[in-house]
């Protein structure tokens, strides 16, 4: 598993602007949602085009946080990337940033109903959970998904982010969540990136500017019903 220890320089800069490293001293479960990003076969399973091997190692921690939050009265949301609107919502990315072969593989691999689109094995998703489809890296940018509406309808204030990859879809969603005035927690041991360097750099940046970065255990200790 990709480990993260907050560097002293990050900690000291946080403490310049408030008295505690974590803004969340308490996490009110009924006002919180665990948002699990892109834990799909396309990003997790061996041999898939965007395989992130470290993502397979966080399944247990995601299940643990999801179970604990459900028990305390919170919401669990599974966010899956869909290519259904790739040519409509994200045309230039697919036309110019990817090769024609890569774009075609992505569209096929993330088509709803495909093996790549499905949640990775071992994830304990429940019928009572919420399921959201997103079109772009961020689930909270305008017209990417219904995530904001789902959060607002449940009066969610704090968003706990897990999934893959840390520095792309997780960070993009975390940034937009903070800018939409949600309180943000990114779970360091329930997120994963292609490399440890990317994982650590992303978490440092989030901790400095966009939200708390804590472990599942640290979040559990602060969770209240």
| CATH code: domain of residue 84 | 3.40.50.850
Residue pLDDT, tens place only, 25-40: 999 999 999 999 999 9
Out of 43-47, 86-90, 115-119, which region has the weakest mean confidence (pLDDT)? 86-90
Among 154, 159, 140, 155, which Cα is nearest to 24's?
159
Q: Tell whether 1 is covered by a domain.
A: no
Report how far apart, in Å, the C-alpha atoms of 200 and of each of 2, 90, 162, 191, 196 are. Answer: 9, 28, 15, 11, 6
Band of pLDDT at residue 73, cut at 50, 70 and 90 = very high
Domain count, the chain: 1
Band of pLDDT at residue 225, cut at 50, 70 and 90 = confident
Please tell me the distance from the alpha carbon of residue 1 to that of residue 7, in angstroms, as a whole number: 18
Out of 68-72, 89-93, 158-162, which region has the weakest mean confidence (pLDDT)? 89-93
Among 59, 79, 181, which Cα is nearest to 122's?
59
Q: What is the pLDDT of residue 75?
A: 98
Give the list of residues 6+ apart from residue 143 with CB closer than 8 angstroms, or none: 89, 135
Give residue 33's domain range. Answer: 8-224
Report how far apart, in Å, the C-alpha atoms of 67 and of each of 73, 83, 210 are. Answer: 10, 29, 25
Residue pLDDT, tens place only, 137-166: 999 999 999 999 999 999 999 999 999 999
- The answer, yes or no, to whether residue 11 has pLDDT greater than 90, is yes
Band of pLDDT at residue 223, cut at 50, 70 and 90 = very high
Please tell me the distance from the alpha carbon of residue 69 to that of residue 97, in angstroms, as a whole number: 38
Q: What is the pLDDT of residue 52?
A: 98
Q: Tell whether 139 is covered by a domain.
A: yes
Q: How many CB atoms lie within 10 A of CB 25?
A: 8
Q: What is the pLDDT of residue 138?
A: 98
Q: Would you call 147 helix, strand, or coil by DSSP? A: helix
């Amino acid at each position: 598993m990709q480990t993260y220890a907050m560097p002293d320089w990050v900690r000291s800069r946080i403490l310049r602007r408030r008295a505690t490293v974590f803004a969340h001293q308490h996490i009110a479960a009924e006002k919180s949602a665990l948002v699990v990003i892109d834990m799909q076969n396309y990003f997790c399973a061996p041999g898939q085009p965007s395989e992130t091997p470290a993502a397979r190692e966080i399944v247990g921690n995601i299940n643990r946080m999801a179970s604990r939050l459900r028990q305390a009265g919170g919401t669990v949301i599974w966010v899956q990337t869909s290519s259904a609107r790739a040519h409509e919502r994200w045309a230039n990315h697919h036309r110019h940033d990817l090769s024609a072969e890569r774009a075609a593989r992505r569209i096929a691999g993330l088509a709803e109903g495909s093996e790549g689109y499905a949640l990775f094995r071992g994830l304990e998703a429940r019928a009572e959970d919420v399921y959201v489809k997103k079109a772009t890296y961020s689930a909270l940018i305008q017209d990417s998904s219904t995530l904001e509406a789902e959060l607002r309808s449940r009066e969610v204030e704090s968003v706990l982010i897990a999934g893959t990859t840390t520095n792309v879809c997780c960070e993009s969603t975390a940034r937009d969540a903070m800018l939409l005035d949600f309180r943000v927690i990114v779970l360091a041991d329930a997120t994963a990136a292609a490399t440890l360097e990317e994982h650590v750099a992303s978490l440092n940046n989030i901790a400095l500017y966009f939200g708390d970065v804590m472990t599942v255990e640290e979040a559990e200790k602060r969770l209240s019903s």
